[in-house]
A = this chain, B = another copy of it.
Amino acid sequence: MLTLKKTASEYHHGDLQSALITAGLRQVEKNGLNSLGLRQLAVETGVSPAAVYKHFQDLDHLKACIAKASREILGSMMLKSLKQLPDEPKTKLDALKRLRATGSAYIDFGVQKKNLFEIAFISFDSPDLGPDSPNSYQIFLDCLIDLNKLGALSDSNLLIAPAMAWSAVHGFASLATHGIYGNKAEIEVFKDSVLSGVPRLIQIEL
């Protein structure tokens, strides 16, 4: 339709649903998950508190949508990290570099946007909201499929390997956001170690 919103009757918002999610993302990123409030978001988007309930069942549902949006930002950062590398990896080493890049992006997201990372996995269980796109697990898996095609991974590991890689990377990101590894310079050292360890963890053979 695309009706160049001249209809500024100011009564209907136009796209409140995504406006609330966007405002929520900004609020969480700036002041943390605890600072997220329904009324405050309503004010921020210039709407009454009750209007929110036309688009979300309750605050938890809205939070879940903001969480999903966070995960999708994470996923897009992972994809972005891949765009600076050769598309179709021809060698095992190239394929491995791609896996490492996605892992690095995952950790960077956690460290740089720790408040978004904090909310990202809220209500991750309930699949009411449909799959993430992009989906970070799928991105890991694609990298491992490439490695498998090139013979760097045993087939039996295509189920286990992504789980293990994800665990290591996610765990490091999570612990890093909790300030366990000190300042960002120190984090970088540990991060490299973890990323270098992943191929051993999932038994890559070059």
Contact = CB atoms under 8 A, between A and B. Distances in A.
Contact of A179 (B125, B160, B163): B125
Interface residues of A, number: 32
Contact of A194 (B60, B167, B197, B203): B167
A181 interface: yes
Interface of A is mostly: helix
Interface string A146-177: 00000000000000100110111111111100
Contacts of A172: 163-164, 167, 171
B125 A193 contact: no
A170 B164 contact: no
A190 interface: yes
A178 interface: yes
Contacts of A197: 164, 201-203
Interface string A179-206: 1110000000010011001101111000
A119 to B, nearest CB: 13
Which 6 residue pairs spanning A and B have beta carbons closest together? Answer: A171-B171, A167-B172, A167-B171, A125-B179, A170-B171, A124-B178
